[in-house]
Amino acid sequence: MNQTSISVIKYCLIGAILGFICFLIKPLRSFGFSFLFFTLWFGQLIGLLSYLVESKIYKTLYFKIILIGITVFMIGILIKLQHWNGSSFVMLCSFIIISTSYLMRFLAKINRTINDFIKVFWLLFVFLACYFEIMHWILADLFIYISFAIF
């Protein structure tokens, strides 16, 4: 990890601790809960970006496919913000594109380390958590907590 990623993750952890402390104080409970989840999601996003930039996937075709998936996801967010039909399907397509691309790269690797397995499981749980949260399904919180634990 480069110095910028480490400092951003450090500040996200400090924010998560502050959010947890605010969550424990009864009058600040809702603010603390929101702040805690925001900083943890932001920390996971920075972690994902640092994994992508510093791994060897950055110079491969898989990374270009992942960028296409991220672009499709942003289009899905714009559709969701406009409250148009089909936004969930577009976001599901982006999750499938990104996950399939990373899984294909993972399966193509010859020497897999424990860090590679952790990255694959983390990616899958983050995308499951995001999709369950978007669809407002029941087990969204479970996948969110598992992805935080894996991170």
Q: What is the pLDDT along the chain (151 residues), one digit of tens a residue?
A: 556 656 666 666 666 666 667 666 666 666 666 666 666 666 666 666 666 666 777 778 888 898 898 889 888 888 888 888 888 888 888 888 988 988 898 898 888 888 788 788 888 887 887 777 777 777 777 776 677 666 6
Q: How many CB atoms sit inside 10 A of residue 7's CB?
A: 12
Domain finish residue from 54, 71, 90: 54
Is 114 in the same domain as 139? yes
Is 61 in the same domain as 94? yes
Assess contact for 149 and 122: CB atoms under 8 A: no
Is 135 in the same domain as 67? yes
Is 83 in the same domain as 151? yes
How many domains is the chain built from?
Answer: 2
Domain hosting 19: range is 1-54
Residue 150 confidence (pLDDT): 67
Is 94 in the same domain as 120? yes
User: How many Cα atoms are found within 13 Å in the side-chain-facing hemisphere of 142?
Assistant: 4
Is 35 in the same domain as 109? no
Is 130 in the same domain as 92? yes
Domain finish residue from 11, 29, 54: 54
Is 145 in the same domain as 119? yes
Is 97 in the same domain as 110? yes
Residue 87 confidence (pLDDT): 83
Is 35 in the same domain as 62? no
Nearest to 40 by CA among 13, 69, 75: 13
Residue 52 confidence (pLDDT): 64
Residue 148 confidence (pLDDT): 67
Domain finish residue from 54, 70, 90: 54
Q: What is the distance between the alpha carbons of residues 118 and 124, in angstroms, rounded to a whole number?
A: 10
